[in-house]
C-alpha cells in the first residue's frame, strides 16, 4: 500500500504471469508459448520494417494488418480490431462493454485469471459461474440476466473446448438484452485436428459474427503464431463492437501497435501453410503425451489447447510442481479451490516432452514425493 495510490489501485489484485527464468537451464512448459519458431516470412518482414521510418508513428488504424486478417477470416476490415496482444484487446473489451446496469458480468469460476483483474480495474461487478463436475462449461448456466459474458474456448487452464453451437446459444440468449458475449479464442487453433480456416480451429465462433451482432471473438498471435515476444492480438465482431473498442483505444493510446509488430503480425497471418504445419505438430505431441501419462496412471483432461491439465492421484500438485522444477522442468501450478492438485503443462517439442515424461516418472515413482 502507498499513500499515493488512489482507491482503485488499492483494491486491485494484479495478474501474476508464469515464471520467466533468466537462465537457460529449464525446460519451460509453464507459459503456453509455442515451442517452434515463427515463420521465416515474419522475420523477414520485421527486418524490412526496421528502417528509417521508425522515426514516424505507426499506422494508428493498422490498415494493412486488418486487411490481411479480414482476408484470411473472410470478414470485412471494419469487423477487425488490432491490439498490443490479446490481453490489451480484452482490457478494452471490458472497458467498452461491461459494467452497465445492476446485473453482473458472468465468467467461469475456473478460467483465465486476468478476467477478475480487468473487472476490478473497470469497476464491473461480476459473478463466477461454477464449471460442471467434469470441468466443462455448462452453457445453460449462462442463460440468465447478466451484464455480459466472457469465457475462453477452449477454456484455460483446463484446455477443454466447448462446441461452437453452445457458444452461439449463449450469444443468442444474451443478445435479447443487448449484452455482449466475448469468446476468448487464444487457443482455438489447436482444437480438433488443427486449423480449418486461416488460423481458426473447429470451435471458432468468428465465422458467425454476422448472425450474432453481440458476439466478439478475441485472438492472439502469441500461441498459434509463435509470437509471444511480439505482442499482437485482434478481435473479430460486428462494426458497432469494433467501433466501441476503437473509442476506448483512442481514449487511451492511439498508437498501440508499433511498426515492427504490424509488419510481423501481417506476415504471420498470411503464412497459413507454415502455421498449420507447426500447429498439427503440437497437437500430435499433445495426444502422444496424454496417452503416455494415462499409461503412468496420471490423469490428463481432454485438451483442445496447446497445453494439458494433469493430476497425479494422491499427489499434492504444488509438491509435484516443485519436484519437476528441481529436475529442470517448469510447469504451472494454480493454488485455487478445485484445481490445487492439477498442473498445467504447455506442449513443447517432442524432445522437451520426453524429458518431461522422464521427470514425471522419477518424481512419482522414484520416491521424491
pLDDT 10s digits, 5-59: 988 888 888 888 888 887 768 999 999 999 999 999 999 999 999 999 999 999 9
Rg (CA), the chain: 20
Domain boundaries, the chain: 7-37+276-365, 40-272
Question: Minimal CA–CA distance to 221: which of 256, 185, 167, 194?
Answer: 185
Q: Greatest CA separation found in the chain? A: 60
CATH for 7-37+276-365 is: 3.90.1150.10
Q: Look up the CATH architecture of domain 40-272.
A: 3-Layer(aba) Sandwich (3.40)
pLDDT 10s digits, 357-367: 999 999 887 65
pLDDT 10s digits, 283-307: 999 999 999 999 999 999 999 999 9
* Cα-Cα end-to-end distance for the chain: 38
pLDDT band at 369 (very low <50, low <70, confident <90, very high): very low
pLDDT 10s digits, 178-204: 999 999 999 999 998 777 666 678 899
Residue-by-residue DSSP string for 113-162: THHHHHHHHTT--EEEEPPPTTS---GGGG-S--S-EEEESS-TTT----
Amino acid at each position: 500500500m502507498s499513500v499515493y495510490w488512489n482507491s482503485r489501485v488499492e483494491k486491485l489484485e494484479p495478474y501474476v504471469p508464469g515464471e520467466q527464468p533468466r537462465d537457460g537451464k529449464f525446460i519451460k512448459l509453464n507459459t503456453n508459448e509455442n515451442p517452434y519458431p515463427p515463420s521465416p516470412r515474419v522475420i523477414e518482414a520485421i527486418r524490412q520494417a526496421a528502417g528509417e521510418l521508425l522515426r514516424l508513428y505507426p499506422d494508428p488504424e493498422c490498415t494493412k494488418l486488418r486487411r490481411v486478417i479480414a482476408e484470411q477470416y473472410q470478414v470485412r476490415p471494419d469487423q477487425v480490431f488490432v491490439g498490443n496482444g490479446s490481453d490489451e484487446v480484452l482490457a478494452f473489451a471490458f472497458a467498452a462493454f461491461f459494467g452497465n446496469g445492476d446485473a453482473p458480468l458472468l465468467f467461469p469460476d475456473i478460467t483465465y485469471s486476468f478476467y477478475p483483474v480487468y473487472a476490478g480495474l473497470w469497476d464491473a461487478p461480476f459473478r463466477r459461474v461454477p464449471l460442471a463436475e467434469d470441468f466443462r462449461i455448462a452453457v445453460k448456466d449462462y442463460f440468465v440476466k447478466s451484464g455480459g459474458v466472457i469465457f475462453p474456448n477452449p477454456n484455460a487452464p483446463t484446455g477443454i473446448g466447448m462446441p461452437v453451437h453452445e457458444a452461439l446459444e449463449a450469444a443468442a440468449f444474451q443478445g435479447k438484452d443487448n449484452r455482449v458475449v466475448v469468446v476468448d479464442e487464444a487457443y482455438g487453433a489447436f482444437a480438433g485436428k488443427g486449423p480449418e480456416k486461416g488460423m481458426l480451429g473447429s470451435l471458432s465462433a468468428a465465422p458467425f459474427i454476422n448472425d450474432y451482432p453481440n458476439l466478439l471473438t478475441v485472438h492472439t498471435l502469441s500461441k498459434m503464431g509463435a509470437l509471444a515476444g511480439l505482442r499482437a492480438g485482434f478481435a473479430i465482431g460486428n462494426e458497432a463492437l469494433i467501433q466501441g473498442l476503437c473509442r476506448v483505444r483512442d481514449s487511451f493510446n492511439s498508437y498501440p501497435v508499433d511498426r515492427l509488430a504490424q509488419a510481423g503480425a501481417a506476415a504471420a497471418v498470411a503464412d497459413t501453410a507454415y502455421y498449420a504445419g507447426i500447429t498439427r505438430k503440437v497437437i500430435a505431441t499433445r495426444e502422444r503425451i496424454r496417452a503416455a501419462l494415462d499409461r503412468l496412471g496420471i490423469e490428463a483432461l481432454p485438451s483442445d489447447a496447446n497445453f494439458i491439465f494433469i493430476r497425479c492421484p494422491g499427489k499434492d500438485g504444488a509438491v509435484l510442481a516443485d519436484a519437476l522444477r528441481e529436475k529442470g522442468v517448469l510447469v504451472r501450478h494454480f493454488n485455487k479451490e478445485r484445481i490445487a492438485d492439477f498442473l498445467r503443462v504447455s506442449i513443447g517439442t517432442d524432445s522437451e516432452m520426453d524429458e518431461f515424461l522422464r521427470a514425471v516418472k522419477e518424481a512419482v515413482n522414484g520416491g521424491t514425493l
